[in-house]
């Protein structure tokens, strides 16, 4: 019985992996070096690792709804996620992005605080 379940599971997994996909829409990124992308509150959220700007993007049109500068003189953005109405942007010191911190912003770009990502 266990072998049958495993074999069926493998076929289902293979079918999913080989399924056709469809690109629904494409649009240009708001900047040239996007290093983090998230989704929340009906918007895409992106951060550029060079210009250090964060963007709120309408996923239907690609229009930038809001943007702000992630002010930090020594660290570069390397990632972004969205949870609980908060944009989290990870930033670290180049070249290896050491001494990393996560900076919290509300959906309007207001800085809410930070916490260390180093163990």
What local confidence, expressed as pLDDT, does residue 8 receive?
54
CA distance 46 to 29: 9
14 within some domain: no
Determine if the pTM surpasses 0.85: no
22 within some domain: no
DSSP state of 63: -
CATH number for the domain harbouring residue 36: 2.40.10.480
70 within some domain: yes
Cβ burial, residue 73 (10 Å; 0-12/13-18/19+): exposed
What local confidence, expressed as pLDDT, does residue 14 receive?
61
What local confidence, expressed as pLDDT, does residue 84 receive?
94
20 within some domain: no
Count of H helices and E strands in the chain? 1, 8
Q: How do residues 76-85 score in pLDDT, each as one tens digit?
A: 888 999 999 9
6 within some domain: no
17 within some domain: no
The total number of structural domains in the chain stands at 1
Q: Which domain holds residue 78?
A: 27-116
Can you list the residues of the chain whose pLDDT is less than 70? 1-19, 73, 97
Nearest CA among 83, 24, 31 for reference residue 52: 31
């Amino acid at each position: 019985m266990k072998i049958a379940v495993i074999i069926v599971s493998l076929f289902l997994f293979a079918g999913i992996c080989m399924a056709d996909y469809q690109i629904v829409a494409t649009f240009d990124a708001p900047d040239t070096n996007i290093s983090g992308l998230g989704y929340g509150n009906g918007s895409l959220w992106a951060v550029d690792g060079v210009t250090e700007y964060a963007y709120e993007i309408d996923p239907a049109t690609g229009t930038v709804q809001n943007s702000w500068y992630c002010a930090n003189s020594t660290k570069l953005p390397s990632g972004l996620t969205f949870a609980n109405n908060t944009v989290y942007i990870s930033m670290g010191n180049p070249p290896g992005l050491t001494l990393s911190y996560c900076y919290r912003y509300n959906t309007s770009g207001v800085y809410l605080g930070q916490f260390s990502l180093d163990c």
